[in-house]
Amino acid sequence: MRENIIHKAAVLFLTLGFKSVTMDDIAHEMGISKKTIYVHFPNKTKLVEAVTFNLFDTICAGIDDICENVSNPIEELYSIKMFVMHHLKNEKSSPQYQLKKYYPKIHTELKYKQFEKMHQSVQESLEHGVATEVFRNTIDVDFISRMYFTGMTGIKDNMFFPPEHYKMNYLMESYLEYHLRAIVTEKGLQILNKFITSNQSEK
């Protein structure tokens, strides 16, 4: 039952936002009493926390699977982007923004976990790219991986990129191109151009 509650709450939170969805809404959607939810989660904050880190673990497992099965680091980044977009569903509800505003402690902990995971995986991807000569061998791997995380976090800030003006898919694709163009070799650029052509989204 606990896992079912987390799954249903995740769908509602990502579709409608963390603030909008109440415990009553979740109970109604599941056809159970609110008391049943409280058996597993003493309050909404604990449920938000469980949903947030469950989703994080799911995305991490998916990213690990992609990294193990995709040989090209450029294709890897685009595959990860599509996977993350699929799991975050409707970005119009601004889940990251609402989490930061209404559950700042959870947001801070999540951001730290995200940095640890992304910093490691991007470093490995960059090193692989250098070894396969699609990325320049002069890049500072540690610096670039930190900049990548900063940029990916920054494009989700509604103050700088209001959702009424920018679709998240467009922002992620544009940032990927911006990031990769700075580090690719001629060999890498040929691969990148193919992905840009097949992944263009509307602003």
Q: Compute the distance between CA of residue 121 and CA of residue 158 in angstroms, rounded to an integer.
A: 26
- The residues, any chain, with a CB within 8 Å of residue 34's CB and separated by 6 or more, are 23, 24, 27
Could you report the per-residue pLDDT of 117-147, keeping only the tens digit for each? 999 999 999 999 999 999 999 999 999 999 9
Do the domain assignments include residue 1?
no
What pTM, to 2 d.p., does this model score? Answer: 0.83
Do the domain assignments include residue 19?
no
Cα–Cα separations (whole angstroms), residue 132 to 72, 84, 181: 8, 25, 16
* Number of structural domains found in the chain: 1
Do the domain assignments include residue 93?
yes
Q: Are 183 and 65 in contact, with CB atoms under 8 Å apart?
A: no
Q: Which domain holds residue 181?
A: 43-198
Residue 201 confidence (pLDDT): 62
Do the domain assignments include residue 27?
no
Residue 106 confidence (pLDDT): 97
Do the domain assignments include residue 25?
no
Question: Which is nearest to 75 in space by CA: 125, 121, 119, 115?
Answer: 125
Residue 202 confidence (pLDDT): 62
Could you report the per-residue pLDDT of 1-14, keeping only the tens digit for each? 999 999 999 999 98
Q: What is the DSSP letter of 138?
A: T
Do the domain assignments include residue 5?
no
DSSP string, 28-58: HHHTS-HHHHHHH-SSHHHHHHHHHHHHHHH
Could you report the per-residue pLDDT of 161-186, keeping only the tens digit for each? 988 899 888 999 999 999 999 999 99
What CATH number is given to the structural domain containing 172? 1.10.357.10
Residue with token string 């601004």? 94
Average pLDDT over residues 53-58: 94
Do the domain assignments include residue 26?
no
Do the domain assignments include residue 11?
no
